[in-house]
Chains A and B, each alone.
Chain A
Amino acid sequence: MNSNECKSLLFSLSEKAGIKEYEVYLMEVKNIAADALKDDIRSFQSDVLGGLCYRCVVDGKMGYASTEDLTEEAVSALVEKAVNNAKCIESDDKAFIFAGSDHYETPSPAPYAPPSAKELKETVLNYQKTVYEQSPLVADGTGCAAGAGEITIHLYNSKGLSLSTHGGYVESVIEAVVEKDGEKQQSYEMVTGPFGSFDVKEKAKSAVENALARIGAKPVKTGKYDIVFSGRQMNSIVSTFISAFSAEQVQNGLSLLKGKVGETVASDLVTYMDDPFYPGAPMQTAFDAEGVATKTKAVIENGVLKTFLYNLTTADKDNVESTGNGTKGSYQSPVGIAPYHFYLKPGDYSEDALFQTVQNGIYVTEMKGFHAGANPVTGDFSIESAGFLIKDGKIADPICSFTVATNFFDFLKQIAGVGDTLKWSGYAGFTRFGSPAVWVKDLSVGGE
């Protein structure tokens, strides 16, 4: 069945079952991607995935059921499943089917045109060729890739709400594996935006140079260091601890930011914005997973915590308005909480100026294993890192196999300088993180 047929069927079954409040949420995802090995396409992938989530309120409790099988039989079964599930919910949280916001912004995303399979393959092979041209040390295993993804969402509910949104973006990964004296290193540049919107040679050169610079990396001595984190690494850190800003985690006692709104939680250099409509961004949505209008807000402003991120249920509990951050990781997920373009406002320092100011310390360009070495509930992290020594205000020798350990909530307060150029992460749904390079004082490094 198509989306309209699914909607009609579920609406009529709900009415027949005497259910007053319900919602039908449909998501369709299309992906296309290719990657290269040596001078040929290694693999090519294309997906069309769609699913439907039905939820309804029974005696004040919310029940969910979802399916990718959109035959009449499978879709019809959802109502009974959701009702049964609702009956088992014990939480006193108020369940909402939303009637709609007074006003929805009109997003102006970057235009999206999915590449053809042919265009995609030619582009990837061109990336690959350009990388190999940069240096004779580029080794097999180098795998440039490109792809495009788009999401379409329809939300219909018993209160007459009928909303749709659509977004898509093209992504390129220009990777270099280099080999010198039997040692291999790897680096990549990622660009979100149409093919041809950037200088391929420049990105290839940068990937190759960065990989070569890491050859011969040595361990570093255990101790305390001033550290500059690249924007990309800051994004990894903040995305790991983002749940601390979720009102749901706060209310459940799983965030140490509980009770801290209005208080200083970070250095005064820190302003974190959450913007669903970041200018020029390809993925923008005017409504969240519950149909609430999205909006731009400061989450931390000059170090002061301004708000948590809310959906309808958590906002009701705190007696505030939803911030429009209700989200579904995928169509089948219950409504959770996530930001949109969540970014650290750039400061004054160019990267060189940051190194000049720090004089002696470490520049961290790689961090791995956040799912293991970091705990959003306690804030503790201890992460395997690699990068470069900063000596006399300049980037010096490559270093590797050390850990950086601290507590995230102390870390925010120790930020001593913020760079002037935003680096963005990739998208997960409508969520993306942005940060310039950041200087943090006096961190514990575990090495030799």
Chain B
Amino acid sequence: MIQKKLLEEILAKASSTGADFAEVFSEHTDVGAIEMVDSKVDKIQDSVLSGVGIRALKGVRSVFASTTDLSREGLLQCALQVAEALGEGNAPISIHLTERIFPDIHPIRVAPFTAENKQKIDLLKEGYFAAKEYDERISQVVGRLLMFDHNILIANSDGLFTTDRQIRTRMVINAVASKGTENQSGTCSPGRRMGLEVFDLFPPKDIGIQAAKQALTNLSAGYCPAGKMTVAIENGFGGVIFHEACGHSLEATSVSIGMSQMAGKLGQKIANEKVTAIDDGTIPNAWGSVNIDDEGTPSRRNVLIENGILKSYMIDKLGGRRMGMDVTGNSRRQSYAFEPTSRMTNTFIDNGPDKNEDIIASIEYGLYAKSMGGGSVNPVTGEFNFGVNEAYMIRNGKICEPVRGASLIGKGSEILMDIDMVGQNLATGQGMCGSLSGSIPTDVGQPLIRVSSITVGGR
């Protein structure tokens, strides 16, 4: 870790041409991945990421530089580059850093990088073979165990000096089922901000079986029909609908420059009154949780939408300056090499008033989307899309045959109004969210919901 005195010097240098804020973000991260294919351990990735990102702000202008050269000269050169790109002159600045220690609300029991490879491989094999041996039609399985030990240091010209350690562990099992010349796939990939003890919570065997079952379901499925339908979207990763349809449009990244359809709508009704949506980075050990965000602001629970009314955006420091609003603990970045910006943490639609069985029973003809894939959105127009991994037709209030190859598309502003039933089995799913500041772990979530009308892409 960089010494406090040197950090003070770097911040002074970065501020020397008129910056009103300067920040150093230093990182040392172990990244590990064990991969199995064809029933054998195939690849092991074992990397150390190490670098520094330096940022300076002047009003709403930002300059950012990063380097892997952590020598005193390398760091001061990087700070000088930032200062020169921002302004002119050489004002003497004095900075005093005071260490702040924030409580760790995400206890870890088994740090994955201190465990022996064998222990980790045994866990992966348990999940792998549970999928492989589930059915003879499972022709291939790819299994990955992913581990991150992310150590960060944040220091800024306001005098903040703090650190955090974020450990995350995840298992991804992809199963392929084959019949003649056809392949279908199924996937299961739970993760937590935990060490290897995460597999007490998610026995690897269950992960493998779930992936295999989904592949087999799709193998017996016909293509999903296309057109507008009523759709019931199941809990867990189904929450990706809110993440794409609304979440990204509530980030200061797009709101602060007027590029979001949600800009200027605080206090207005933007969703059906059954919808209450929350972004909460303080859920102990959740995949998207942080003690502090990547600007050193403690994470918190932000109610975004309450009974359909827009209550809050997700705001980072620069976005807050543009909007004249306070930060919300949502500033995040993939690594030191990315400038931080407003991002989601664990974002979900809260439990609602409807019974799950009533939701299915209410649909005469429609789609039951049991498991969702990822998605994307254009915040300017609000147009979003996401893929469906496992789905069934609904007829006369009953779940019928499986269908595959579906996607759902729509406009955020419309879909939020069309969520007209909200169930009571809130659960989350883990994702990697990609945006301006890179790829970060986020949770999505919801109970079973009904969307009265949405375009289903099929054939």
Contact = CB atoms under 8 A, between A and B. Distances in A.
Contacts of A85: 44, 46, 117
Given A68-B49, A372-B375, A401-B409, A40 B61 contact: yes
A441 B46 CA distance: 47
A429 to B, nearest CB: 16
A378 B221 CA distance: 13
Interface stretch (A198-206, A252-260, A352-360, A389-397): A252-260
B14 interface: no
Given A51-B68, A90-B41, A448-B228, A369 B46 contact: no
A381 B63 CA distance: 40
A222 B227 contact: yes
Nearest to A443: B459
A372 B228 CA distance: 20
A135 interface: no
Interface string B30-45: 0100100110111111
A428 interface: no
A369 B84 contact: no
Given A140-B257, A372-B376, A373-B387, A68 B48 contact: yes
Interface stretch (B102-110, B292-300, B399-407): B399-407
B50 A74 contact: yes
B50 A68 contact: yes
A176 to B, nearest CB: 11
Interface in A67-101: 67-70, 74, 81-82, 84-85, 87-93
B385 A405 contact: no
A273 to B, nearest CB: 27
A235 interface: no
A373 B68 contact: no
A402 interface: yes
A72 to B, nearest CB: 13
A68 B139 CA distance: 38
A117 B84 CA distance: 9
Interface string A49-73: 1110000000000011111111000
Contact of A47 (B65, B178, B383): B65
Contact of B42 (A65, A91, A254): A91
Contact of A141 (B41, B182, B228, B259): B259
A334 B381 CA distance: 39
Given A47-B66, A91-B40, A254-B176, A447 B46 contact: no
A88 B387 contact: no
Nearest to A85: B44
B40 A92 contact: yes
A369 B410 CA distance: 13
B68 A141 contact: no
Interface in B1-57: 28, 31, 34, 37-38, 40-51
Q: Which of B69, B78, B183 has the most CB of A within 10 A?
A: B183
B407 A49 contact: no
Interface in A349-391: 368-369, 371-375, 377-384, 386
A446 to B, nearest CB: 3
B42 A89 contact: yes
Contacts of B41: 88-91
A373 B45 contact: no
A37 interface: yes
B46 A88 contact: no
A43 B185 contact: no
What is the predominant secondary structure among interface residues of chain B facing chain A?
A: strand
Interface in B354-399: 373-376, 378, 380-381, 383-387
A371 B41 CA distance: 26
Given A84-B117, A90-B40, A371-B374, A69 B258 contact: no
A266 B165 CA distance: 51
B381 A184 contact: yes
B68 A89 contact: no
Interface residues on A, range: 35 or more
A372 B140 CA distance: 21
Interface string A328-359: 00001110000000000000000000000000
Contacts of B64: 43-46
B424 interface: no
Nearest to A81: B46
Contacts of B184: 378
Contacts of B84: 117
B456 interface: yes
A43 B63 contact: yes
A382 B185 contact: no
Given A84-B117, A92-B40, A372-B385, A46 B45 contact: no
Interface in B216-239: 223-224, 226-228
A68 B407 contact: no
B337 A403 contact: no
A420 to B, nearest CB: 30
Interface of B: 28, 31, 34, 37-38, 40-51, 60-70, 78, 81, 84-86, 117-118, 121, 139-140, 142, 176, 178, 181-185, 223-224, 226-228, 257-259, 337, 339, 373-376, 378, 380-381, 383-387, 404-407, 409-411, 455-459
The 6 A-B pairs with the shortest beta carbon distances in the complex, nearest first, are A403-B457, A446-B226, A444-B459, A384-B385, A372-B387, A69-B50
Given A46-B66, A49-B68, A377-B183, 20 more contacts: A37-B257, A48-B78, A49-B337, A63-B44, A66-B46, A68-B48, A69-B50, A85-B46, A88-B121, A140-B257, A140-B258, A184-B381, A252-B140, A253-B140, A369-B386, A369-B407, A380-B405, A403-B407, A403-B458, A447-B227
